[in-house]
Structure 1
Amino acid sequence: MTDLHDLVRSAQADVGARVVAELRARLLDQPHEWVVDQLLGEIAPRFGLVAAPVHRVTGLPLTRCTLADAVAQLTAWTSERLDAECCLLAPPAPGGPLIGPAHRSPLAEVLLAEAKDLLHALLLGDEAGGVRLRRVRRCLLTLAPPADKAAVFGFLDTGTPRRALGEFEFGEVEDGLVGSGVVAALRLINRLEVNEVVLYARVEDVTAAEG
């Protein structure tokens, strides 16, 4: 005769099967990248790694005026201000591993996303995406993060041909504001996620070099 424990185990198995089936159905409805990011977030810490999910870019319309405002806003977030606002929560020392979400406050997450969206708009944005800047010369950004941190910049990989891995050619405006925005965005991304003492990045005017 079936006892109470058998009934409980049977009920648990039935409930478990239904929950798994429901969870599977819901996961299938989610964006592929989101599922991958969640899996990395669960698996990576077990191997002592910090997962760096690819940032989902939010389109950022830009004009000369809004770019100036964006650069001023990012530049205002100095290391001292980030510390004063408790943006980082017991992060690893500079030069150590990536700074993961667990070490960033909600404000830091917003700032990091804004910096990445601005960098994407400056390097890859066009008029179709609302980036309306009068670009008068060509510049080249050479970006060389450590290999184990390069995935942070995966949101810049559009699959389009480039001069070389880590090189991005972009249009600059008359007063150099695009380059200033690139530097400001990279500084904040490094401070809030990449976590290098010095992130190697160089901007040079290729129009003059080619001329």
Structure 2
Amino acid sequence: MDDIRSLIRAVNLELSPVFEEKLRQLLADKDRDWLVDQVVRLSLDAHGLREIDRRSEREAKARARAARLERVRALRLDASGVAEFVATHRPTTRDSLIASGHLLADAPAKGTELLTSASRSAAGEELLEYAKDVLFALLFGDASTLTSLDRVQQELLTFALPVAKAGALDFMRASTEITAAGTWQDPESVSNDERAANTLLEVQYGDTADELVGHGVIAALGLINNLEVNEQVLYARMIDVEQTTLIS
């Protein structure tokens, strides 16, 4: 009497010609470079594949950083630009983004999953990218990025993100990440968390005498939260730094 292995072999033999023909049809229209890349991947062991993936990821991040720096230079952000950004976007809410067409009305409820491009219009995608560029300029901008802000005092920004959503701010640099557990009791029972896995990000930045940079940071984080992070409460705190160990 046949065992299960022999039955599987028999089915495989029967289906192999059909599978081969179907695979040939699917591969016939593929780009030649893509095919070469796939053949190389099939010939490598797991270690080699991981190294290729890591290298590709590094190269993709480098390209993204270069593109962001170019956009930040184009902003030429100064005090008047920050003031305009704050006046325009500090009052922004999820409802106003839906009303303006930046966010779709059926986007996942606040406190649930990360919002993807499927929940944003083309204008929403542009606004999200703009908010991230402004946040980058506010925190890290200097003469090399054509950012002109009279930074006279040091501040420490701390904000918390669920680990699963931390990728929304993966463009941050010169930041410290700390793993932490948080508890959130949602009054509406949409997103109760008990000992949820969070990441605390700490960034030291220079602020102006009137703390305009801090106001801009809050406005930018509000946009990013409503367009992507999608937390009911995105915790952020800024405190004066009297002394620092950042010595050049």
Same fold (TM over 0.5): yes
The CA distance in 2 between the partners of 1:15 and 1:192, in whole Å, is: 37
Partner residue in 1 for 2:123 = 107
- Residue 169 (1) aligns with residue 211 (2): no
The CA distance in 2 between the partners of 1:122 and 1:99, in whole Å, is: 24
The range that moved more, 98-107 or 81-90, is 81-90
The CA distance in 2 between the partners of 1:125 and 1:189, in whole Å, is: 19
The CA distance in 2 between the partners of 1:14 and 1:91, in whole Å, is: 38
Partner residue in 1 for 2:229 = 194
- Residue 70 (1) aligns with residue 105 (2): no
Q: Which amino acid in the other structure matches residue 70 of structure 1?
A: F
Q: Is the CA contact 2:90–2:218 (under 8 Å) kept in the aligned structure 1?
A: no
Q: Is the CA contact 2:175–2:201 (under 8 Å) kept in the aligned structure 1?
A: no
1:20-76 Cα distance to aligned partner (Å, 9 max, x none): 42445799xxx9459979xxxxxxxxxxxxxxxx88623232111222222223225
Structure 2 length-normalised TM = 0.62
1:116-168 Cα distance to aligned partner (Å, 9 max, x none): 00111111111111111111100010011111111111000x3x474866100
Q: Is the CA contact 1:137–1:172 (under 8 Å) kept in the aligned structure 2?
A: yes
The CA distance in 1 between the partners of 2:145 and 2:31, in whole Å, is: 41
The CA distance in 1 between the partners of 2:208 and 2:60, in whole Å, is: 38
Alignment length (residue pairs):
182
Unaligned runs of 5+ in 2: 1-19, 39-54, 179-199
Q: Is the CA contact 1:74–1:115 (under 8 Å) kept in the aligned structure 2?
A: no
Structure 1 length-normalised TM = 0.72
The CA distance in 2 between the partners of 1:130 and 1:168, in whole Å, is: 20
User: Percent identity over the alignment?
Assistant: 38
Partner residue in 1 for 2:107 = 91
Q: What secondary structure is seen at the aligned counterpart in 2 of 1:204?
A: strand
For 1:135, which of 148, 151, 154 is the aligned residue?
151
Higher strand share: 2
Q: What secondary structure is seen at the aligned counterpart in 1 of 2:156?
A: strand
Q: Which amino acid in the other structure matches residue 170 of structure 2?
A: G
